[in-house]
Structure 1
Amino acid sequence: MLDLSSAFALTLAAVIAGWIMGRFWRWPHVWFGRNEPPNFYQDLSFLFSEEPGPAVMAVIHNLPINIDTLPTHLSLAKLLREKGEIEGATRIHQNLLASESLEADALEEVHFALAEDYISAGLLDRAEIQLLDLLENTLRLREPVLERLQHIYQAEKDWEKAIAVARQRKNTSSSVPAKTGAKPQSSSSQVSRTQRKISHYFCELAESALGGGDMERFDEYLKGAQEADPNNIRASLLLARQTLYSAPQATLNQLHQLMIGRSDYLREILPLYRDAFTRLSTPEHYLSALEGLAEQVASSSLHQEIINQRLQLGLESSASAYFQEALYRRPTVKLLTAFPNLAVADRLALSKAVLEIEKDKPSYRCAHCGFSGQKLHWQCPGCEEWGTIAPIRGKQGD
């Protein structure tokens, strides 16, 4: 099989050779009228070396710069960038910008490609300057420019700017007329994703304000999060954290509804529910409330909490009986490994063995890209979507 370097060289050679053949067939007199063959063929032979960058630059110096050759220049630069040769890609784009033979629309494309070079190199401040300049001077590239700016501000955790740019994207997608034959749900889906991101940006700001004790800002940011996405579970949990001490009963009622309506996040809701309940009532009443919830919600985390509560109240035989019943009704690896000492003798060895396997099992998965891990991320590290990761459910999850 070809390694990455060879595959890159072949692709690069194909791009350049395609351009050469096109030029040859269109203007054969250009080549036959010369005393010496062009340098393209010599330079192409160097593309199969381990470091094609210098050869690419030699080829580029022989390629004229005009509207016909622009796609070739941009394709070469993109190939270099994807291979990690950022410096080579940047030199190509800067060489294009120095030319006086390109029209404004073509120069906009080059400026945008140069910004992508800077993003790939981690030079986000330079990329931001390029993109902001483009934003002032182009309508044609407005959406991709805004998308890259949002990516930059998200990476820099500049949530205020990320919100502003995301709102511009929302307005842009709302104002663009639908294309003939386009699926009608595409625009609304994009708006929905944008709103979800805005909501999480506000949640980031709200968490920071809550940690700093700035309750006025916290209320402002939380309101923004809820307005952007009323179904954002993260905003609901933030509200519960804030009202836990000042209004435990209202918080308890809110959390009770969440545990029924958003049972996929029950594992995250339970600690707050426990804190709110213990501020208002007795452990016995808490156990009774949990058992009532278990009749409405199927969750290994809930079963585990009930068993723990029975054990804390000294009801070991009752806890063991409930454990056996829960395993029968909803057998999951999580529940099986939670209480190995409660398992009957012939299941004890199995419990310990599965416990070792469970250590490497992911607890959360992204519904958008499939990324999995042991920790809840509100923004997926894989696809960078917001609010798409939830606890894994089923026999190997909750």
Structure 2
Amino acid sequence: MEFETWWLLVIPVFFALGWIAARVDINQLISESRTLPRGYFKGLNFLLNEQPDKAIDAFIEIVKLDPETVDLHFALGNLFRRRGEIERAIRVHQNLLARPDLPLEYQVHSQYELGQDYLKAGLLDRAEETFNRLVDTQYSAQARRALLEIYQREKEWTRAIEAAVALQESGAGGRQKEIAQFYCELAQDELVHTHADAALALLEKSLAADRKNVRATMLMGDALLSKGDTEAALLAWRRVEHQSVPHIALVAQRLMDGYRAVGRPQEGVNLLKNYLAEASSIDLLEVVFKAVMELDGVDAAKQLISDEVRRTPTLLGLDKLLEARLMDAPPGMWPELTMVKNLVHGYTQKLARYQCSQCGFKARQFYWQCPGCNQWETYPPRRTEELNVMN
């Protein structure tokens, strides 16, 4: 009985202590909120209502009245950068760095924000210098990513490889695909200067980084061809089939030219026909169509196109079919067929595009690096209409 009475006395005490603690917290919160400038809440309200211009004006007034508001400086600098007012963002972050009493943590943060300003402004030398100072700080991963972006913009592929390897070793994720492409860029430069052996050595490194890199295999064939070894080049180009069958369309013309050069054009046509049956492609079809017409005549070329359009009906295929029909059409049919052909061809020009799977950027030619988002290997080797039909 005494035990129960003791508990009845303790429980109200606990409730009272909890109520007092809550009141203290609320009073402290109210007290702190009163010390904040009125403009702070005004600016915050503008931000929440998606009025960044008015928010910036409000925050500028606070910074003028209270220059010690470091976090507000960061917010203001970011707003300027987002609006494209890079010079003002740079001044904000430079002013912070100029403070002799700024804690180390804020100094590092200010340097990182300043580097982002320089990068957005295209001042790559200053950005590189700033991010290099941050590689041994808590912003190491972000700084290395920024440096990698800078080296790609400047086409400094050797330094890009070093930056990508450093990122991998820091545990920031695999970069094999990018490293392989950087070696391809270096190899392509060597091929331009007819240094085939140097290009081959770089392409071996590219494939060591990424065995599925189609571009490296294609360039290896080009390098072997430049050395006069057509048979070895053909073997290299055929290896694309084992990496990605759809990418065969990108080497189809090389293969056909190579087989002609070694005196075995029919073998080349038969090979490409097999590829076409395995992976339909308008680009591959065009190469096979021209080769069949050259070796087997117009009728065989027309039959090839007809069969392919039935199998994969696209306007791009219809355009080729009309082209084939015009070759031996009676003179009386030419005006009508030509008119239809021109109408279809004009429309297919809009469809004959490659499209980045990352950002949707469309282009007439195939890119290994998207000009829109700068990502690597985001272009499928098929035209947009073919992809739509397949989907």
The TM-score bracket by the shorter chain reads 0.7 to 0.9
Are positions 1:204 and 2:185 aligned together?
A: yes
Who is 1:247 aligned against? 229
- Going from structure 1 to structure 2, the CA distance change for 1:373 and 1:300 (only over 3 Å counts) comes to same
Aligned to 1:305, which of 287, 303, 307?
Answer: 287
Higher RCO, 1 vs 2 (CA within 8 Å, ≥6 residues apart): 1
Contact 2:353 2:363 in 1 (8 A): yes
Per-residue deviation, 1:236: 0.6
Aligned to 2:343, which of 353, 373, 377?
Answer: 353
- Structure whose CA Rg is larger: 2
1:380 & 1:49 partners in 2: Cα distance? 32
Per-residue deviation, 1:89: 1.0
Contact 1:53 1:88 in 2 (8 A): no
1:165 & 1:83 partners in 2: Cα distance? 30
Taking the TM superposition and a 5 Å limit, the aligned residue runs for 1:351-390 are: 351-390=341-380
- Going from structure 1 to structure 2, the CA distance change for 1:283 and 1:223 (only over 3 Å counts) comes to closer
Question: Helix, strand or coil for the counterpart of 2:134?
Answer: helix
Question: Helix, strand or coil for the counterpart of 2:351?
Answer: coil
- Going from structure 1 to structure 2, the CA distance change for 1:25 and 1:396 (only over 3 Å counts) comes to farther
Who is 2:125 aligned against? 125
Are positions 1:171 and 2:169 aligned together?
A: yes
Q: Which moved more, 1:145-154 or 1:208-217?
A: 208-217
Who is 1:288 aligned against? 270
Taking the TM superposition and a 5 Å limit, the aligned residue runs for 1:242-281 are: 242-244=223-225, 245-259=227-241, 261-281=243-263
Per-residue deviation, 1:370: 2.6
Contact 1:378 1:386 in 2 (8 A): yes
Are positions 1:341 and 2:308 aligned together?
A: no
Per-residue deviation, 1:55: 6.7
Q: Which moved more, 1:264-273 or 1:53-62?
A: 53-62
Who is 1:63 aligned against? 66
* 1:282-313 superposed Cα distances (whole Å, 9 cap, x missing partner): 43343333334334333333332222123223
Who is 2:92 aligned against? 92
Per-residue deviation, 1:167: 0.5
- Going from structure 1 to structure 2, the CA distance change for 1:318 and 1:202 (only over 3 Å counts) comes to same
- Going from structure 1 to structure 2, the CA distance change for 1:166 and 1:347 (only over 3 Å counts) comes to same
Who is 2:199 aligned against? 218
Question: Helix, strand or coil for the counterpart of 1:390?
Answer: coil
1:381 & 1:319 partners in 2: Cα distance? 36
Contact 1:266 1:301 in 2 (8 A): no
* 1:208-254 superposed Cα distances (whole Å, 9 cap, x missing partner): 01111233432332122111111111101110101125322232233
Who is 2:10 aligned against? none
What TM-score do the two structures reach when normalised by structure 2? 0.79
Per-residue deviation, 1:266: 2.4
Who is 1:13 aligned against? none
Who is 2:153 aligned against? 155
Question: Helix, strand or coil for the counterpart of 2:380?
Answer: strand
Question: Helix, strand or coil for the counterpart of 1:173?
Answer: coil
Identity level (%): 26
Letter aligned with residue 116 of structure 1 = Q
1:171 & 1:50 partners in 2: Cα distance? 42
Contact 1:362 1:372 in 2 (8 A): no
Per-residue deviation, 1:366: 1.9
Who is 1:102 aligned against? 102
1:202 & 1:95 partners in 2: Cα distance? 41
Per-residue deviation, 1:280: 1.2
Aligned to 2:144, which of 146, 171, 174?
Answer: 146
* 1:354-381 superposed Cα distances (whole Å, 9 cap, x missing partner): 2111112252122233322212121112
Per-residue deviation, 1:80: 0.7
Structure number with higher helix proportion: 2
- Going from structure 1 to structure 2, the CA distance change for 1:306 and 1:218 (only over 3 Å counts) comes to closer
Question: Helix, strand or coil for the counterpart of 1:313?
Answer: helix
Q: Which moved more, 1:302-311 or 1:345-354?
A: 345-354
What TM-score do the two structures reach when normalised by structure 1? 0.77
Per-residue deviation, 1:121: 1.0
Question: Helix, strand or coil for the counterpart of 1:352?
Answer: helix
Per-residue deviation, 1:206: 0.7
Who is 2:303 aligned against? 321
Per-residue deviation, 1:52: 8.2
Q: Which moved more, 1:161-170 or 1:223-232?
A: 223-232
Who is 2:32 aligned against? 26
Question: Helix, strand or coil for the counterpart of 1:379?
Answer: coil
2:243 & 2:74 partners in 1: Cα distance? 50
* 1:301-326 superposed Cα distances (whole Å, 9 cap, x missing partner): 33322221232236112222222122
Contact 1:60 1:92 in 2 (8 A): no
Aligned positions, number: 349
- Going from structure 1 to structure 2, the CA distance change for 1:259 and 1:206 (only over 3 Å counts) comes to same
Instruction: Name stretches of at least 5 consecutive residues in structure 2 with no aligned partner.
Output: 1-27
- Going from structure 1 to structure 2, the CA distance change for 1:109 and 1:53 (only over 3 Å counts) comes to same
- Going from structure 1 to structure 2, the CA distance change for 1:242 and 1:27 (only over 3 Å counts) comes to closer
- Going from structure 1 to structure 2, the CA distance change for 1:154 and 1:124 (only over 3 Å counts) comes to same
